[in-house]
Structure 1
């Protein structure tokens, strides 16, 4: 009986500590309560097509959201000048419109180097960062961004 009580007490204490730790680790909204989100794109054109819809829907549903798209690996392909989706549409129009709405697009320099893609071939809206995964981690840890991978 006493062991059961001790186990139950320990379990309840662990649950309480876990909940407190989770609450402290949760991403914070930015100044003024502004939600900040980082989207990871790393899988190529099909993922980028889905993400364009997600980004538009996100901004329509929560217009004040600060959104950063970080692309690395094959996820950078849609940000290369002249890239087209499966229907032959280029991405420069949608990327330009999203940039005008406040979305930022960041591209991994490590990927550019490994794939021998010159920075000059990127859409003008794309900003190059040293490493995509490091940028995502930094945004989450230092700036309180929530993470989405469409």
Structure 2
């Protein structure tokens, strides 16, 4: 009986863990070419696991793809892909420290973004307080 109860408990814990959504924070602090690949990675992740919760946190040069009219090396604007991913529940967070240091007015940001006081602090908070998995593509 004990063995059956233990097996049942294990199966229940496994089922609960499998049913929980995966939460992922993508840390972006590199140029726009890397950002293009990261957006593709996020699309691929959502195609494989549509219920995943994804937050993209940017700072330094990583904020550049979230500026109005930002384009990749092939001349494609990021706004359409960012908008499509935001429509699928992806959150895009921009570091206020970067905006201040680089003198970027928040009016230049895509409307799908939100500003956090510190990008690195937000990454740490999401991992430590909210159980997000860290990805640095």
Band of TM-score, shorter chain: 0.7 to 0.9
1:33 aligns with 2:10: no
Structure 1 unaligned blocks of 5 or more = 1-28
- Residue in 2 aligned with 1:103? 90
Q: TM-score, normalised by structure 2?
A: 0.86
Counterpart of 2:107 (choices 120, 123, 130) is 120
- Regions of 4+ moved over 3 Å: none
Q: TM-score, normalised by structure 1?
A: 0.79
Larger Rg: 1
**Once the two structures are superposed, what CA deviation does each residue of 1:93-136 show, in whole Å capped at 9, x if it has no partner?**
00000000000000000000000000010000010000000000
For 1:66 and 1:140, how far apart are their aligned partners in 2?
13
2:8 corresponds in structure 1 to none
Residue in 1 that maps onto 2:57: 70
Matched, 1:138 2:110: no
Number of aligned positions between the proteins: 121
Q: Indicate the residue corresponding to 1:148 in structure 2.
A: 135
Alignment RMSD: 1.3
Q: CA deviation at 1:46?
A: 1.1
